[in-house]
Each structure stands twice: as C-alpha cells, then as structure tokens.
Amino acid sequence: MYRTLIVDDEPLARLRLRTLLEPESDFTIVGEAHHGEMAVAMIEAERPDVVFLDVQMPAMTGFEVIEAIGLRAMPTTVFCTAYDAFAVKAFEVQALDYLLKPFDDIRFGQVLARVRKTAEPQEKRLQQIMEIVQPLPRLIARSRGIVRVIGYDDIDWVAAAGDYAEVHTGGRAWLVNDSIAALTARLPEADFARIHRATIVRLDRIAEIRPGSHGDGVVRLHGGEDLRFSRRYRMALDAWLVL
C-alpha cells in the first residue's frame, strides 16, 4: 500500500489527483497540502510513501519543500508542473517522475506504473535535479517546527552543525539541510566568504578585522558577534579588503 500525499496550491489540481488516485486499490491518500509549509509539516507527521509535489507554489516552491525535509528523508516524489519546460527536460534526463499539467489519464497511469516499479533510492536523483534547476537566492530553514524562507541578503553568518548548518540572521539561528561545504558552493562569492572550516560570513556585515599572530584572527560583525578566521581561509578576506 502506497500512502500518498497531494501537494498543490490549486484546489482543482488537488481534486484532479484525488479523483485519479482513489480508484487505485494500492494507493491511499493520507492528506492534502495547499502550500509548502503545510506540506513540510504533513510529510513529517504522516511519513507518506509517495508525494505528488507541485513545483510552482507561492512563498515556498516544491524544491524548497525538498530542502526543508532533506533529500534522504523525502518520500518517492512525483513532480507536478505547468510551466517550467527546463525543469521538465531535467526530470526526463534524470528519469525522475513528473506530470506536466494538464496531463491525461494515460500519462498518469504511466507515472503510477513507474512508482510501483521503482525501488531504488531517489536521493541521488533528487540531488541531481536540484543541481540542474537554478536555485532561488534564498534558503529554507527550520526552528522549533517553524519553516522560514531566508533571503541571501538577510544572512549575517553561517556556522557548521554536523551535516547541517546554522544560518544566523538578525540575532536568530535557523537550521538548514545543507552542509557548510554545500553552502560555500551555493552562496555567491562576491557577497560571502568561508573564513573558517566551520564558518561563512557575509562580507558586508564585517565591521572590524583583528589579525592574530599566526595568520589567524577574529572578525567582528556590525551586530557585535566575534567570529574566528583561520590562516587557511584568510585569502578570501585579503581579496575582499583590496577590492
């Protein structure tokens, strides 16, 4: 039995999926979500086997739902999209399941057949599609059950937290499902620098740089935080200072 969650901001789209799924004896619908934050909460609460996930939703896209949940924890995902031809091409290349709206019963049946047949983990395929699709300039973070969308301009600094990272903004810390290395690659080099193996800083938040005696030192942010920088990562600071 495939426990299934429907996620779409359009009521008619949700009704269409429900109508097609209900006759399928091996699929049972555990709920519907009409926005991304609700989808995150329901995926964590219901632990569905399959999620039909709308790509384009206001405030929080389908890809950002995946970021909030984490690749390893995502159920088998069928993407639903009406517009993004580039994303559809990427889905095809990576053999990911997708439905291009409007879809007919035959196409829906093909997707269900693929869901039934596919037993391999999808983490690697989801990672590939997330890399292909251009990310928005923002992160999806979590704190005590709250999902928050954080624009790059709002980030003050980032600290490593094991396989995750803490994004600090306005005096608060938010957990994101990305490693410090992944965020180093994702955040724009013109605005951010990794200054320690466990720290990324937004450069325009730096108020003072206090060198140490061995090529290391401390940066003080406008908000008053003191962050260590190491000799290994000092080059990024030196390059910023000469701009």
Q: Give domain limits for the chain.
A: 2-132, 138-241
Which amino acid is it at 195?
I
Task: For 153-200, write each residue's pLDDT tens digit.
Answer: 999 999 999 888 999 999 999 999 888 988 998 899 899 999 999 999
2-132 classified as CATH 3.40.50.2300: yes
| pLDDT per residue as tens digits for the range 65-101 | 998 898 888 999 999 988 767 667 667 665 567 888 8
If pLDDT is split at 50, 70 and 90, which confidence band does 203 have? very high
Beta strand 217-221 with 226-229: parallel, antiparallel or unpaired? antiparallel
Q: Are 80 and 101 in contact (CB under 8 A)?
A: yes
Question: Contact, 10 vs 83, CB < 8 A?
Answer: no
pLDDT higher for 209 or 88?
Answer: 209
Q: CATH number of 138-241: 2.40.50.1020, 3.30.1330.40, 3.65.10.10, 3.40.1410.10?
A: 2.40.50.1020
Has residue 243 got a pLDDT over 60?
A: no
- Provide the pLDDT for residue 160: 95
The alpha carbon of residue 36 and the mean position of all alpha carbons in its chain are separated, in whole angstroms, by: 11
Task: Give the position of tokens 């580039």.
Answer: 86
- Tens of pLDDT, residue by residue over 119-153, are 666 777 787 787 777 667 889 887 777 888 899 99
- Segment 35-52 shows an average pLDDT of 94
Q: For the chain, what is the mean pLDDT?
A: 88
Q: What is the pTM of this model?
A: 0.73
Q: What percent of the chain has pLDDT over 70?
A: 93
Say what the pLDDT of residue 86 is.
62
Query: How high is the pLDDT of residue 220?
Result: 96
